[in-house]
């Protein structure tokens, strides 16, 4: 483990989703993940009791927008789909496997670094 890797929160990585699709993601730190979860949690009071309601869909959308920077292999008809906030939301909301992949990979620095080293060896 290198502390320098942790000191670079804006570092980007390419991760293979499948044989055709690669996604460029930004590593999400624990701090950033807590902020996303806090933003996806609605706080209200009933009878002077604090109640918190977590919205997992909102959390997925926020996480997708926070981490996904680019992609290759995702198409809209016959042309490449642009990596826009709306398209990110569409994938994070409606494609279960893709959303699970993004949720898992963007917070796993060790895995991202391993994939980066593996790609460097191939080149």
pLDDT tens, 82-113?
A: 999 999 999 999 999 999 999 999 988 888 88
| Cα(97)–Cα(78) distance, integer angstroms | 23
- Can you read off the two tokens belonging to residue 94? 């409606």
Q: How far is CA 71 from the centre of its chain?
A: 12
- pTM comes to 0.84
Residue 17 φ/ψ, nearest 5 degrees? -85, -45
Collect all residues with Cβ–Cβ distance below 8 Å to 97 and sequence separation of at least 6.
none
**Residue 109 to residue 6: CA distance in whole angstroms:** 8
pLDDT of residue 44: 79
Q: Is the model more confident about 1 or about 17?
A: 17
Please give the angle made by the CA atoms of 44, 46 and 51, to the nearest 5 degrees.
45
């Amino acid at each position: 483990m290198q502390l320098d890797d942790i000191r670079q929160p804006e570092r980007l990585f390419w991760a293979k989703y499948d044989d055709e699709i690669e996604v460029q993601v930004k590593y999400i730190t624990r701090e950033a993940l807590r902020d996303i979860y806090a933003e996806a949690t609605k706080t209200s009071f009933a009878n002077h009791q604090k109640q918190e309601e977590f919205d997992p869909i909102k959390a997925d959308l926020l996480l997708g927008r926070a981490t996904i920077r680019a992609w290759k292999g995702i198409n809209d008809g016959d042309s490449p789909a642009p990596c826009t906030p709306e398209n990110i939301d569409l994938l994070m909301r409606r494609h279960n496997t893709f959303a699970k992949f993004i949720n898992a990979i963007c917070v796993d620095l060790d895995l991202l670094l391993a994939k980066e080293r593996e790609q460097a060896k191939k080149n």
